[in-house]
Each structure stands twice: as C-alpha cells, then as structure tokens.
Amino acid sequence: MASMQRTYVKGNPYWRIVQSKRVNGKPRPIVLAHLGRVENILARWQGTEALKLLSRAHGAVAALYKLADKLDVVGTIDRQLAVTGRHVRRPKPGVRYKPRRNDGLSVGQSLLLAAIGRACHATSKRSFARWAQTTTLGELVSVDLDRLTSQHFWDQMEQLPVEAIAPIERELVQRAIKLFDLPLDTLLYDATNFFTFIASTNDRPKLPARGHNKQKRHDLRQLGVALLCTRQHGIPLWHQLYAGQVPDAKFFPEAIGALRQRLVALEPNLESLTLVYDKGNVSRANQKLVDDAPFHYVASVSAYSQRKLINEANPKMQAVEVDSEEKVLAYRTRKVILGAERTAVVLRSECLLDGQKRGVLQHVASALRWFDRLDQTLNRGKQKRDRARIQRDIETRLMGRQSLSRVMRFQLHDNNGKLSLDYGFDQEAFDDLAKNWLGRLVLITDHDDWSTADIIRAYRGQSHVEAVFAHLKDPVHIALRPQFHWTDQKLHVHVMVCLMGYLLARLLHLQAQRTSGYPHCIERLLEDLGEVRRVTVARRTGNKGRLRLSQQLEDCPPKLESLLENLGVKIAG
C-alpha cells in the first residue's frame, strides 16, 4: 500500500510517495512519485498548480521481464553461481576484506537487468540507470535504480566465472526449446569478429588482438565469436568467444568439440541432426573431423578450388524448384572433394551474381583511375621506376584483385627508352565471366537421400545465423559493441549478457508471431512495445484529501493492447 514519506535533502524537507516491497525478505521503500516541498503540495491541493503524473515506458521491459521469469533466468544464473562457490567471497589470509555492494540484487538479477537493457536500448553500464529511470524496470524488480552504477555491474559481473557460462546457457536453451517446442533437425554454425577500442598498451586482456576484421577495422583489436542457432526462427543455442587473431577455420576444430557436447545435452540422438556451415570454416582437416562426427552436414566450399566441377556443371544445369515462387539453376553429382567422395551441388545464385558483378566493376573503376594516373605520369616522363618494376606493380598490386586479370587488358611499350601504356576494359571477357563463373556456389553433403532442393534450402538457412550477427552489430538494439570491459573474464560475461538479451528478444518476437500474428521484425516489436507507457495516477479521496494511487497504461491502439495481453503484460493494475 502506498504512503507519503518525508525526507530531507541538504536540510530541506521534501515529501514523496513510496510503496513498501520486500527485497531479499526485508521491507524496502520504493519511490513512486516525488511530491516536492509542502508549498508545492498545498498549491496542488488548492488547484493553483496542476498535479503532475508519473509516466514511464513499460511495454518492452515488462514483456521481456515476464518472459525471463518463465525461463527462470535469475534462478538459473544464481544456482550455477552457487555451484562454483563464487557467491561467497572468502578473504585471503592477512588481507582486509571489503565486501562488494550488491544493493539488494543477486548476480542473476543484475545480469538480467543488463540483458534487458541491451535488448531495449544498448548503452554502457554507466548510462544504464539514466535510461532505466525512463522505464518501469525499477518497479518490476523492486530496486532503487540510482544504486545501479557501473561499479555495481562490474562487481556483479566479476563474481561469475567463465566456466559457469556454458552451464547457464545450456540450461536456458533447454528450457526455451521445451517451452517453445523448437525443432532441432537442422542447426547453423558460423563465426565472426567484433572490433573493440581496447588500447594496444593494455596487456591485461589476452583475447582482443588484431586480425582480419570483417568490418574493415584492421587497425583495432578484435574478438571472435562463434555461434550455433536453429534453422527455424534463428534461436541461439551455443556460443564461444575466442582470440581475435585466430582465423575461423583454425578455431573450427575446437568449436566442433564444444558443439558436440552441447548437442548431446540438447538432443542425444545426434544422427538425426544436420550441421550447416560455410566455406570460411572448411579445410581438409576440418572436414575430416565432421566426417567422423555422428551428425550429418551441409557445407559450401570455395568455388575457386572447384573450377573443373563448375566448368562441368555449366552446360548441365537444370531448373530446381526451391519453393513455389522460385526456381534456380543447379547441377548435382558425386565427386571426390576434400579427400572423400561426396554429393556435390553446383548452384547459380542470382543474388550472389549481381553482388559479384558490382564488386568486379568497382575494382575495374578503381583500376582505370590507377592506370590513368600512371599513363599521365609516363607521358610527362616523370616515372623513375624501370619497366620491370612497373610491370611487377601492375601484376601484384593491381591485377591481383577480384577477377581483374580476366577483364582488364594492358601492355607496356618501350619507344627508345620512353615508356607508354595501353590499357582498357574487356567487356566481352566480363560477359563471359558473368555467364560461366560468377554467382556459383558449390555445396557438399552426406545427405545422399535428400533432394537437390532440400540441400539448397538447408544451406540457405545460413542466413539466419548471419542475421543474428547483424542484430548483434545493430547500434540501437542488442549491440555487442563497444565493449567497455578490459579483462577477458568480463568480456566473456559481456558477450553472454548480450546474447541472453538477444535470446529474450528473439523468443519474445516468436511468441508475438505465434499468439498475435505479429508481422514485423524484432526491432519494430521492441520499438512498438517501448511506446506503451504506464502512468501512475494520484486521486484525492474523501474530505481529508488523501491521495490514492493507481497505475494504468496510457491509451494505445487495440491491436497493441491485444499483443500485450498475449505476451502476459497486465493492462491495468
């Protein structure tokens, strides 16, 4: 029940409306509204000042918190933490013990708040409280948000050992599979990297390192993240953080071992599972590991390594109906690839073809500009390099780019010691390249019993795991970067929190689709729910002018109200 309470700020009395709730078994006042000084309250009573109502964003945080309660996120984290014994901090002999401030929250509660924050409004731990105060998150968890500083989150994150992350993730995933009846017939694996702003002089973390960055930030240290998700709905089932300088293919053997353990926990009958992965993880040794594993596979291999197969397939391709609205050209055969005979499918992808044609033409435009500058330099007689050096520069620095050697023609002439250059773009060669080479995918599988269309559909599911990475790189919702943490342990926990936020958001989206037929994407769902606000209304009752507080949602469209009810969010209270 709500009541009025007097407090003092710098010696001045102020009044506020509080509601007592129990936190860890102890009563604690939760502030519902600040009324101000006595004269402010009197002005409101006399009608000379309008009564201010408290309105906060409610829909998104309430729906995510409700779903997290169904998955028992807090209990799962705290139980695993209790198993490790890290929830009890034992002082070292001779060292004065300074207890951490948990502000009445368990580690599970703090990490859940951080995950909800990443899903709704990705921000730093320092800015978390400022954002959360615009929502009803504090009321839902019964915590004073002003206490949730960056130091609070760092202290709570420090208590979670890295070895506890996998059991926590496994238990949450098992519960999600059961609750949402998720099929596990085809699973998608991929890896990517995320650049960081960790200074080069900071030698405390060992995971961040420079490598080939997929966002072209080769100047920054990066982290590698491997991920396994379901083909249907793209639900993350497993993840692993690894050092940034390790290529995807070199990490794949370690990933296979961890994946096998996770798959046994999720589906003991591994022979019914199919793993899908792309050519960036393929090598002869890696494929041997997959061949020895009990599950099936569908993978792609580099088209450049299968030129003979592509030339064989080009005149024999036939239309394959992938779905009711799409047909693609494909050729199926049995070939020895990576040391074993396998079913191979050569596929012509129009989308890939268009993208590769644009890429080649961009390189052509850059090469023509380079040739123009070189030609002008030669005409002025200002070139100090000899013919052999210029020839080598053209062949190594320029013509080594994507297919340029096939579509660009050049020739150096030496006229009595003066060099001249002839160059140009070969349109006929480009057309031949597009017709017989670009846009080709080579797939391999041990599913000899599957149709060609089934193999293509399974590999196309790879877009779901790529979509997860796209969400994690979204700067607004569920962003994994930037990582404001400087130790490997906290980086592990940070990635777990971000993926936990994505798991909650993705399951919430799936629930909205199933119960309400919600037609839009995850980001749109979170934005729509974020516009639903809950207002605290103070009404005067009786002659004594006592205030009675009630809470209700602001007016929102009927479809949104129905969606909230289907997601388990109370409309009034």
**Contacts within 8 Å (CB) and 24+ apart, 558-565:** 559/516, 560/59, 560/528, 560/532, 562/516, 563/512, 563/516, 563/518, 563/528, 563/529, 564/59, 564/63, 564/529, 564/532
Write down the residue that tokens 């590999």 correspond to.
Answer: 459
Question: Is 460 found in the same domain as 407?
Answer: no
Within a domain: residue 106?
yes
Distance spanning both ends of the chain, measured CA to CA: 13
Distance CA 458, CA 451 (A): 11
Question: Is 486 found in the same domain as 571?
Answer: yes
Tally of domains in the chain: 4
Q: How many CA atoms lie within 13 A of 380 on its CB side?
A: 8
CA angle 45, 47, 52 (to 5 degrees): 75
Question: Is 76 found in the same domain as 25?
Answer: no
Within a domain: residue 59?
yes
pLDDT of residue 373: 87
Pull the structure tokens for residue 227.
């991920």
pLDDT of residue 91: 47
- What letters, b where the CB count within 10 A reaches 16 and e where it falls short, cover 179-200? eeebebebbbbbbbbbbbebee
pLDDT of residue 286: 94
pLDDT of residue 98: 47
Distance CA 220, CA 226 (A): 19
Distance CA 375, CA 302 (A): 36
State yes or no: cis peptide before 482, omega within 30 of 0: yes
Distance CA 511, CA 517 (A): 9
Q: How far is CA 507 from CA 120, 132, 233, 504, 569, in A?
A: 14, 22, 9, 5, 15
Question: Is 67 found in the same domain as 28?
Answer: no
Write down the residue that tokens 């599970």 correspond to.
Answer: 108
- Residue span of the structural domain in which 457 resides: 163-349+439-473
Instruction: Give 494-523 as a 3 state SS string.
Output: HHHHHHHHHHHHHHHHHHHHHHHCCCCCHH
Among candidates 215, 287, 304, 297, which has minimal Cα distance to 263?
A: 297
| Residue pair 463/188 in contact by the 8 Å Cβ criterion | no
pLDDT of residue 223: 92
pLDDT of residue 383: 75
Question: Is 301 found in the same domain as 369?
Answer: no
Strands 440-445 and 296-301: antiparallel
Distance CA 530, CA 524 (A): 10
Within a domain: residue 342?
yes
Among candidates 120, 116, 97, 114, which has minimal Cα distance to 150?
A: 114
**If you count them, how many residues does the chain have?**
573
pLDDT of residue 541: 54
Within a domain: residue 544?
no
Within a domain: residue 414?
yes
Instruction: Give 252-313 as a 3 state SS string.
Output: HHHHHHHHHHHHHHHCCCHHHCEEEECHHHCCHHHHHHHHHCCCEEEEEECHHHHHHHHHHH
E strands in 131-221: 186-195
Distance CA 468, CA 236 (A): 8
Distance CA 280, CA 250 (A): 10
Within a domain: residue 539?
no
- Coil vs helix vs strand at 213: coil
216 burial level (CB within 10 Å; 0-12, 13-18, 19+)? exposed
Distance CA 443, CA 328 (A): 14
| Residue pair 180/232 in contact by the 8 Å Cβ criterion | no
Within a domain: residue 15?
yes
Question: Is 506 found in the same domain as 444?
Answer: no
The backbone torsions φ and ψ at residue 385, rounded to the nearest 5 degrees and listed phi first, read: -80, 150
Among candidates 565, 467, 571, 563, which has minimal Cα distance to 517?
A: 563
Distance CA 347, CA 317 (A): 8
CATH number of the domain enclosing 237: 3.90.350.10
User: Among 379, 414, 436, which residue terminates a domain?
Assistant: 436
Among candidates 442, 110, 196, which has minimal Cα distance to 303?
A: 442
Question: Is 431 found in the same domain as 561?
Answer: no
| Residue pair 248/283 in contact by the 8 Å Cβ criterion | no
| Residue pair 141/190 in contact by the 8 Å Cβ criterion | no
pTM given for the model: 0.82
| Residue pair 267/273 in contact by the 8 Å Cβ criterion | yes
Question: Is 469 found in the same domain as 527?
Answer: no
Distance CA 495, CA 501 (A): 10
The backbone torsions φ and ψ at residue 236, rounded to the nearest 5 degrees and listed phi first, read: -70, 130
Within a domain: residue 422?
yes
Query: Taking the CB of residue 438, how many other CB atoms lie within 10 A of it?
Result: 21
Question: Is 517 found in the same domain as 399?
Answer: no
pLDDT of residue 418: 81
Question: Is 250 found in the same domain as 151?
Answer: no
The CA-based diameter of the chain, rounded to the nearest angstrom, is: 111
Question: Is 482 found in the same domain as 333?
Answer: no
- Per run of 10 residues, the mean pLDDT along the chain (length 573 residues) is 77 80 75 74 56 78 94 94 67 49 81 93 87 90 87 91 94 95 92 89 91 87 93 92 93 93 88 92 93 94 92 94 89 94 94 91 89 86 79 74 82 81 90 92 94 93 84 75 83 93 94 93 90 77 58 79 85 58
Question: Is 450 found in the same domain as 495?
Answer: no
Distance CA 378, CA 180 (A): 69
